[in-house]
Structure 1
Amino acid sequence: MKELRSYGWYAARISPFLPPEAFQPVPGRLWGGAAYFLLIISGIVLITVGNFSWWIHFIVSCVLGFSFAGIGFLGHEILHGAVVRRPWLRNLLGAIALWPLCTGPILWRKWHNIEHHVHTQHEETDPDAWASLEQFYQRRYLKWVYKLPLWFRSTISFTFFTLTFTIHSLRMFFRYVREFKLKARLKVILQFVLPWATWIGLLLLIGFEKWLFAYLIPLLIANFIVIAYISTNHRLNPLVPVNDPLANTLTVTVPKWVDLLHFNFSHHTEHHLFPAMSSKYYPLVKEHIKKMWPDRYHEMPMVKALLTLWKTPRLYYNAKGLIDPYRGHVYGSLGNGLDPDQIKMKKVR
């Protein structure tokens, strides 16, 4: 691994080459959010009042699921201050965008903006970092899970992509809610309760069969899309003592129309360098990173990144490697010997 640099070190060297407007919020991104909002309302109303066959409902569910994910990516950008800067408006719009995923804006800013972005891939302080071998020995459920074959663990893991964001969001609520002062804590609790109350209320109003298509299936689809990105963002990268986005983050490539629908969420290294910048400018940031540090930058197609996740374990060994503990199989991480085109492992005792 090359010498680690902080995200501020990189940002200071790229910033002079970026236009001034790149550092301003871009309210125009809200037009995409408005389109998703209308699709979501229209889809739910169509399923609620319509009497169509199940396959029509399923098609609408798929549109809703993609819309839940898309507006969630916009909510992520909004809550970084890249769309609007006024705190009350930022929180209101962020709450609406994350409503389908049942995550409140104050909790999200604490969990994601502060804890994850400041401590990215730090073994102890990043709430999104995967477990290390040392933590493995302290957690009974991991000891049981890692007795299963790698292919079976991967199958289960990818299946649970449909639930992972929701479950992790619940964990983050219970992890951080007590850290807020009383007034803010009450807001966090309210922002947690209201979305769930909305969707449970919808269930009571329209019945389970229609609710299955109006919310549950779309939520599973949105979870899968969001976690497909989140899993590839960092889980092939090493744990690091210095928050170096070129070491601890992966940018994936997807078709341009997908980038358009997902607000350039694929540009994740760029996002960790400039989290408060509109993702509209991330392709420009990418150009400068690749010119200045081509040997440090990690980028690969989304499909290849997911296949590499499938073929490697999710347990860190000496921070730089990935280990299957009972079999003693050790794989590299990005920048530390992992070649997605020819994945190799070595055996340790």
Structure 2
Amino acid sequence: MKEFHTFGWYAARISPHLPKKAFQPVPSRLFGGFAYLSLTIGCILAVSLLHLHPVWNLLLAVVLGFSFAALGFLGHEILHGTVVRKPWLRDILGAIAFWPLCTGPKLWRKWHNVTHHVHTQDEEMDPDAWPSLERLAKSRLLRWVYKIPFPIRAFFAFSSLSVMFTLHSIKMLIYFFKDFQLKNRSVVLLQFFLPWSTWIGLLFFIGFERWFFAFLLPLLIANFIVMSYISTNHHLNPLVPVNDPLANSLTVTVPKWIDVLHFNFSYHTEHHLFPAMSSKYYPLVKEHIKRMWPDRYHELPMGKALAALWKTPRVYYQQNELIEPRQGHVYGSLGNGLDPENITYRNMEAMPFSSLEEKPIIIKKAVGKENK
């Protein structure tokens, strides 16, 4: 894809075809949230107060993990203002929904709404974008990570999905904290530490064994579910000079019942076109996108998207390709030669990161050679 358009450009062409109610908040989404909240409280009480067999506790932990993730999806929707519009009510409901994932509403809106959505897949500005080869050359940690053989690294990368949302949230707190006004910093810290204090307090109240099933294991499960979506949202797409959702975003497909339970979180391209629209109407937006720009739209079944992530590296080469520096394998990205049905690569000169001094030179030579 050589021509880019902003999300506003697409939205202006789709909006006239959508009903007016699609641009109104949908408070009825809170019924689903109430069901998940009730289920969460009930399962935690059951694990904490009843002497259940570990098998039953394990099953309840799975239900809790699914509920934690679903509440996070609803919290994402609430904090975009698509459920209620009053700021104080939006933040209270968003804080409750994100409580199991221990992410505060002020931090989330700064990190996700204000920064990620405005600068999607911009290497320098998007806090969720993966690095380019040039950034890899400047980071001692990344260079060490990419010395690990690709199959081993892919295994640990997928295993880390079970903790990645939590770790990234902590990183975002540190990264954005200085950007908040002094009067808001105490609120941001309170919104971050208050959920953690309740969960750690629960640990001392019920003991580690029950706490493991009531919170820790569900948190790991929720992390994995949430990050399975987030990892497929953009990480097979190229870095882009223009925030073009049809170039930098991927919609995954899941069974309809999962879409219902996950508040249509799979419709990610649609979300980046209309972030202030309830996800209830994203199937309608999808119909218009596929009718108007079928050659630009990226859509994959969730399983195939995750398999493609497993088989490709996460370092960008010249913005629109992915590179495995250790072996010199270069893969396409979506819209730039990547075929999820048949993932192949072309060979470049391998880049053995043997020392800090030689690496930028090797990269410079490789990029120069490719440009000729």
- Please give the range of the TM-score, normalised by the shorter of the 2 chains: over 0.9
* CA apart distance, 1:2: 2.9
Q: In 2, Cα distance between the equivalents of 1:139 and 1:225?
A: 29
Matched, 1:271 2:271: yes
Q: Where does residue 98 of structure 1 map in the other structure?
A: 98
* CA apart distance, 1:40: 0.4
Q: Where does residue 124 of structure 2 map in the other structure?
A: 124
Q: In 1, Cα distance between the equivalents of 2:326 and 2:60?
A: 45
Q: Where does residue 230 of structure 2 map in the other structure?
A: 230
The 5-angstrom pairing of residues 66-215 of structure 1 reads: 66-215=66-215
Q: In 2, Cα distance between the equivalents of 1:129 and 1:288?
A: 28
Q: Where does residue 332 of structure 1 map in the other structure?
A: 332
* CA apart distance, 1:277: 0.3
Render the CA deviation track for 1:73-104: whole Å, top value 9, x for unaligned.
00000000000000000000000000000000
Q: Point out the more displaced range, 133-142 or 299-308.
A: 133-142
The 5-angstrom pairing of residues 303-342 of structure 1 reads: 303-342=303-342
Q: Where does residue 29 of structure 1 map in the other structure?
A: 29
Q: In 2, Cα distance between the equivalents of 1:302 and 1:43?
A: 28
Equivalent pairs, count: 349
Partner amino acid, structure 2, of 1:334: L
SS at structure 1 position matched to 2:28:
helix
Native 8 Å contact 1:132 1:316 kept in 2:
yes
Partner amino acid, structure 2, of 1:271: H
* CA apart distance, 1:41: 0.2
Partner amino acid, structure 1, of 2:59: I
Q: Where does residue 363 of structure 2 map in the other structure?
A: none
Q: Point out the more displaced range, 173-182 or 8-17.
A: 173-182
Q: Where does residue 221 of structure 1 map in the other structure?
A: 221
* CA apart distance, 1:301: 0.0
Q: Where does residue 244 of structure 2 map in the other structure?
A: 244
Q: Where does residue 297 of structure 1 map in the other structure?
A: 297
Native 8 Å contact 1:162 1:222 kept in 2:
yes
* CA apart distance, 1:140: 1.1
Q: Where does residue 353 of structure 2 map in the other structure?
A: none
Q: Point out the more displaced range, 287-296 or 134-143.
A: 134-143
Q: In 1, Cα distance between the equivalents of 2:268 and 2:346?
A: 30
Query: Could you state the TM-score of these two structures normalised by the residue count of structure 1?
Result: 0.99
SS at structure 1 position matched to 2:322:
strand
Native 8 Å contact 1:150 1:311 kept in 2:
no
Q: In 2, Cα distance between the equivalents of 1:177 and 1:99?
A: 19
Matched, 1:38 2:58: no
Q: Point out the more displaced range, 143-152 or 114-123.
A: 143-152
Q: What do you get for the CA RMSD once the two structures are aligned? A: 0.5
Render the CA deviation track for 1:243-288: whole Å, top value 9, x for unaligned.
0000000000000000001000000000000001000000000000
Q: Kindly, what percent of the aligned residue pairs are identical?
A: 66
* CA apart distance, 1:144: 1.4
* CA apart distance, 1:148: 1.7
Native 8 Å contact 2:149 2:326 kept in 1:
no
Bigger-Rg structure (1/2): 2
Native 8 Å contact 1:40 1:68 kept in 2:
yes
Q: In 2, Cα distance between the equivalents of 1:26 and 1:315?
A: 39
SS at structure 2 position matched to 1:3:
coil
Q: In 2, Cα distance between the equivalents of 1:157 and 1:309?
A: 10
Query: Could you state the TM-score of these two structures normalised by the residue count of structure 2?
Result: 0.93
Q: Where does residue 6 of structure 2 map in the other structure?
A: 6
Q: Point out the more displaced range, 179-188 or 309-318.
A: 179-188
* CA apart distance, 1:146: 1.2
Q: In 1, Cα distance between the equivalents of 2:264 and 2:2?
A: 28
Contiguous gaps of at least 5 residues in structure 2 = 350-372
Contiguous gaps of at least 5 residues in structure 1 = none
Q: In 1, Cα distance between the equivalents of 2:182 and 2:191?
A: 14
Q: In 1, Cα distance between the equivalents of 2:27 and 2:184?
A: 27
Q: In 2, Cα distance between the equivalents of 1:248 and 1:60?
A: 37
SS at structure 2 position matched to 1:137:
helix
Partner amino acid, structure 1, of 2:79: L
Native 8 Å contact 2:161 2:227 kept in 1:
yes
* CA apart distance, 1:327: 1.0
